[in-house]
Amino acid sequence: MLSFILIIIAGLFFSGIISRTKSIASGRKGPGIFQPLKDVVRLFKKGAIYSETTSFIFQIAPTIYFASIIMAMLIVPFGQSKGIISFNGDFVFFAYVLALGKFFNIISAMDTGSSFEGMGASREALYSMLAEPAFFILMGSFSLLTGHTSFQEIFAALHLGSTISYALATLATFVLVMVAMIENSRMPIDDPKTHLELTMIHEVMILDNSGFDLGLILTAGYLKFAVYGALIVNLFIGIVGYQYSIPLFFAIQFSMAVTIGLVESFMARFRMNHNAQFILVLSSVSFLIFFVVMLILGKFI
Amino acid sequence: MFLINLFVAFLVVIASIIPFLKPKGVGIIVFISIILGSALSGYFAVNSLIGSQIEFIFSGSQVTGPIPIRIDALSAWFIMIINFIFLTGGFYGIFYMKAYREQKSNIQLHGISFVLLYFALIGLCVVQNSIVFLILWEIMSISSMLLVIFDHNNPITFKAGINYLVQMHICVILLTIGFIWVYFQKGSFDFNAIPIFFAGNANIGLFLIFFIGFGFKAGFIPFHSWLPLAHPAGPSHVSGIMSGVMVKIGIFGIIRIASYLKSDLILLGEIVVTVSVLTGLFGILNAAVHRDFKRMLAYCTIENIGIIGIGIGIGMMGMGNGSPLLYYLGFGGALLHVLNHALFKSLLFYSAGSIYQQTHTRNIERLGGLIKFMPKTAIIFLIGAIAIGGIPPFNGFVSEFVIYSGLLEGMKSNSVSQLSLLILSFAGLSIIGGLSILTFTKTFGTIFLGNQREKLEHPPKEVSFSMLLPQYLIIAAMLSVAFFPKMYLNLVSNLLYKMSAPHLGFEPFGFNSYSTIASNISLFSAVFIGIAVIIWGLRYFVMRNKIQISQQTWGCGYVVPNTKMQYTAKSFSKPLGKILNFLLIEKKQFEEIKPGEIFPSKRNYVSNYFDFFEHRFISNITKRLVYTVNYFKFIQNGMIQSYVIYGIVFIVVIFVITALSIIK
């Protein structure tokens, strides 16, 4: 329950902090930290335009996408307090629920019959597929290290053994940040501020969404960031008390947002055809974690 | 005993009256015979699933020896699946074949083959005598081949049928070798001789022979190449049945033989897991790029066979490690996935059949926007697509979750090779999941969404209720697995308990907690649906007084779009095909514009994907084979005189060598 509330709070600020960082880094005055929220509220108040081509799939897809994020939020734990839903192997459920949201997002882009939106849909499907093994190998390795198979038990037991686990957590942070970037289609995979439809991934998929639906999709994006941020926080807090872990939560979420802002300010996006290689590199980082876990457990003899 | 005699007699009667029926009656008689057959076999199956094994022994003949009929829980599980799919398939088939009623004799042959296939499959599940098993196997292969080549005037269909027949005979040869090996060692055709053989001899050789033999039927790589040819060739209800249950007989055989194993289990388990992961990846990769939707579904079957195989491999590793939980999770996941795959794959094939019936094309690039004309079929296909991707809230997730749990449980092992293999399978399974999203969003999106890409001769409309009914039944069964998984998992755990009882005696203690988790997951899926409904209600509430306008799709400034500009399936999967071009072989046929050609004429551009194994290995082997065999062409010269001479020479040779007592 705690993590659910914390993720919502973090989600409220996350996108604002990213854009604030970007504006400061580029020397602009920039919008306030609440601008993304105001945008969403404005969208919620608006009417909507639907393409004549679309069917009911286009109408229900944003709802299901948003519901999938809410469901994923329910699974994420916070330190010693479990998520609202917690069972052995819950991280598999987590990944597959997010996949359901993605499925509907992709087909809703196909539903418009546009010559561009399918392009984004194709890329989204491909890149998130390539990122999948990184997450699974990572969680599999941690499950091997701790002997547990649910998010909360894995994270609680992660640092009980040795301090090397903090090094692992750092590596895992890299993987999770990158997975978050891929899932949210941010730099260096995708540039949300690009102005050419041919080079977009996520943005081009939602070209035809408007009003409440667009608001839902944007909110889901903000929350998704906070969900991955919360997973990263969990890598570090272990079982420390709430008086430390809650400030730590916000500190880590804040620094993740700032990092993303800085990356987007100072880095160019990758060439589209290099993305696949880059994403597969994440899996090899995950394998590195797996081998370190095997070393720690003394399986190589 | 009497009932089984009745069963066989009944089959003979049905097969002999069909040729005297009108085409309209054939379908009904076939369906009735399947109802009766499944009532009888279902009665035995339910008894043996709940109670204990049922055994009859027929005296048999001198050649076969006694013929034991044993209906144990494993056979019962497969019988139930076969019954359900044949009932829905038979019903769907009656209406699917309506358009072909003028082809009287063809329909009759089709009906006879359908009944024969059904009875052969049931027979294969229960007969435990090698020779009778092989005879039934042959009946199954030939009858299914006859079903596939219904449209035999089409050379592609006929070729696919012949290809299938040849491959099935390689499979039979391997099975025959396996059974004869056991016979020569133990002197019995009874299946009970196999565990005795395994107890005394090396396990690897015989198991691998059986694995490859059954693997041909199941479609493990590199023995899969008949599937993508035969499935698109047959009528849709046949494809649904072949893909849903007939390939599962291969799985049945593998599980049966695996349960007899005594030693080398870990090594064999590792081999099975490795082959299966590769099968899964290969299948889904090809499914992602193919644009013939039935061929896509055939490759997807190969993928799911891979997933089932991963479960079997883990189960075998569990048997080898002496870990009951791993045994239950592995085989349990595999058996549940057999059921799930039978359900959603037949569902997808039936809805694909509905599409084909209405549009007369299997090329998804020619379709589009069908959701507006066939909304029910679209929803059915969507449900199948989500379920087959293993995505909650449908049934595919339950079995995949059990297999994932098996992989995680397997990581308690200490051996580096097992751990590495398991983590790779873990990653492989996740890639399979991701790719199946890509595949099915592509297929669903291109067939049903957007605008119609080509004007079809007959405007498509929704198929009749009679064709939808079997699909609704399958969806109901799928939902029952998704929302009451505990019942099915308990059945599976009982089954596995009985299977392990004679040799291993594993108790299903830890497994029960997983069936609790599975039923919790269905609860969470319900929560998810609840959340979605709440958000939908909120959306409805907020949007109720707002302006909602319908306009053209945003064309990025271009105002006269046409339907040809939509993103195609080919371009959707092109980035994937490009990354993996060493595996997904693309052949393009086009004529380049020559330098001096000032006014280019109309040109065609064709691009197709080829199967890696078929293109790189199998076709090369057959080419060499044909080249060699050409030298012996003079033997078959078409002159009766020479054939008579061959006969005489043969008789003389036999006479001489017996007279000189070279053979006795």
CB atoms within 10 A of CB B583: 15
How far away is chain A from the Cα of B580, in angstroms, using its nearest Cα?
A: 11
How far away is chain A from the Cα of B435, in angstroms, using its nearest Cα?
A: 6
Q: Is residue B314's pLDDT more than 90? A: yes
> Are residues A207 and B554, on separate chains, in Cβ contact within 8 Å?
yes
Domain boundaries, given as residue ranges, for chain B: 1-258, 264-539
Token pair 């036999």 is found at: B654
CA proximity to B270, closest of B204, B339, B197, B178: B204
- Determine the residue of chain B that is closest to A41 in CA distance: B542
Token pair 């969003």 is found at: B441
Nearest to B416 among A123, A211, A294 (CB): A294
Q: Which residues of chain B are within 8 Å of residue A119 when distances are taken between CB atoms?
A: 567, 571
Q: Could you tell me if A122 and B289 are in contact, meaning their C-beta atoms sit under 8 angstroms apart?
A: no
Question: Residue B664 has what pLDDT?
Answer: 63
CA proximity to B387, closest of B525, B490, B274, B487: B525
Question: Residue B614 has what pLDDT?
Answer: 87
> Are residues B535 and A63, on separate chains, in Cβ contact within 8 Å?
yes
Q: Is residue A207's pLDDT more than 70? A: yes
CA angle B318, B431, B449 (to 5 degrees): 130
pLDDT digits (tens, 9 = 90+) for B390-415: 998 899 999 999 999 999 988 888 78
- Determine the residue of chain B that is closest to A289 in CA distance: B423
CB atoms within 10 A of CB B476: 10
Kindly tell me the number of DSSP H helices and DSSP E strands found in chain B.
24, 5
What CA–CA distance (Å, rounded) separates A50 from A62? 13
Interface of B with A in 107-146 (CB under 8 A): none
SS3 sequence of B305-316: HHHHHHHHHHHH
pLDDT digits (tens, 9 = 90+) for B596-618: 888 888 888 888 898 898 888 88
- Determine the residue of chain A that is closest to B522 in CA distance: A93
Q: Is residue B79's pLDDT more than 90? A: yes
Question: Residue A134 has what pLDDT?
Answer: 92
Tell me what the pLDDT averaged over chain B comes to.
89
Nearest to A118 among B397, B423, B567 (CB): B567
Domain boundaries, given as residue ranges, for chain A: 2-296
Direct distance between the N- and C-terminal alpha carbons of chain B, in angstroms, rounded to an integer: 39
Token pair 């959603």 is found at: B344
Decide: helix, strand or coil at residue B290: coil
What CA–CA distance (Å, rounded) separates B442 from B287? 10
How far away is chain B from the Cα of A34, in angstroms, using its nearest Cα?
A: 22
Nearest to B531 among A70, A110, A197 (CB): A70
- Determine the residue of chain B that is closest to A117 in CA distance: B567
CA proximity to B260, closest of B186, B167, B342: B186
> Are residues A99 and B391, on separate chains, in Cβ contact within 8 Å?
yes
SS3 sequence of B346-379: HHHHHHHHHHHHHHCCCEHHHCCCHHHCCHHHHH
Instruction: Give me Rg for the CA atoms of chain A.
Output: 19
Q: Is B196 on the interface with A (CB under 8 A)?
A: no
Tell me what the pLDDT averaged over chain A comes to.
87
Token pair 């993103």 is found at: B567
Nearest to B426 among A93, A129, A137 (CB): A137
- Determine the residue of chain B that is closest to A197 in CA distance: B556
- Copy the structure tokens of residue A3: 């993590």
- Copy the structure tokens of residue B221: 């790589």
Q: Which residues of chain A are within 8 Å of residue B552 when distances are taken between CB atoms?
A: 51-52
Q: Could you tell me if B206 and B195 are in contact, meaning their C-beta atoms sit under 8 angstroms apart?
A: no
Decide: helix, strand or coil at residue B548: strand
- Check the CA dihedral B107-B113-B116-B122 and report its sign: negative
- Copy the structure tokens of residue A267: 């880095």
- Copy the structure tokens of residue A50: 């639907």
Exposure string of A105-132, with b = 16+ CB inside 10 Å and e = fewer, is bbbbbbbbbbbbbbbbbbbbbbbbbbbb
> Are residues B532 and A216, on separate chains, in Cβ contact within 8 Å?
no
CA proximity to A37, closest of A18, A15, A69: A15
Q: Which residues of chain A are within 8 Å of residue B416 when distances are taken between CB atoms?
A: 294, 299-300
Distances (CA, A) of B13 to A248, B9, B17, B114: 78, 6, 6, 14
CA proximity to B346, closest of B87, B569, B36: B87
Peptide bond into B460 cis (omega under 30): no
pLDDT digits (tens, 9 = 90+) for A255-272: 999 998 898 888 888 888
pLDDT digits (tens, 9 = 90+) for B86-136: 999 999 999 988 888 888 888 889 999 999 999 999 999 999 999 999 999
Interface of B with A in 525-584 (CB under 8 A): 527-528, 531-532, 535-536, 539, 542-543, 546-556, 561, 563, 565-568, 571-576, 578-579
pLDDT digits (tens, 9 = 90+) for B571-596: 888 889 888 888 888 899 988 888 88
> Are residues A49 and B578, on separate chains, in Cβ contact within 8 Å?
no
How far away is chain B from the Cα of A24, in angstroms, using its nearest Cα?
A: 31
> Are residues A52 and B553, on separate chains, in Cβ contact within 8 Å?
yes
**Strand bridging mode B548-551 / A48-51:** parallel
Instruction: Specify the higher pLDDT residue, B349 or A158.
Output: B349
Instruction: Specify the higher pLDDT residue, B559 or B624.
Output: B624
Nearest to A53 among B391, B405, B553 (CB): B553
> Are residues A96 and B437, on separate chains, in Cβ contact within 8 Å?
no
How far away is chain B from the Cα of A92, in angstroms, using its nearest Cα?
A: 7
SS3 sequence of B602-639: CCCCEEEEECHHHHHHHHHHHHHHHHHHHHHHHHCCCC
Question: Residue B147 has what pLDDT?
Answer: 92
Question: Residue B1 has what pLDDT?
Answer: 66
How far away is chain B from the Cα of A118, in angstroms, using its nearest Cα?
A: 5
> Are residues A143 and B411, on separate chains, in Cβ contact within 8 Å?
yes
How far away is chain B from the Cα of A18, in angstroms, using its nearest Cα?
A: 27
What CA–CA distance (Å, rounded) separates B15 from B356? 29
> Are residues B423 and A57, on separate chains, in Cβ contact within 8 Å?
no
How far away is chain A from the Cα of B393, in angstroms, using its nearest Cα?
A: 9
Q: pLDDT confidence of A301, banded at 50, 70, 90?
A: low
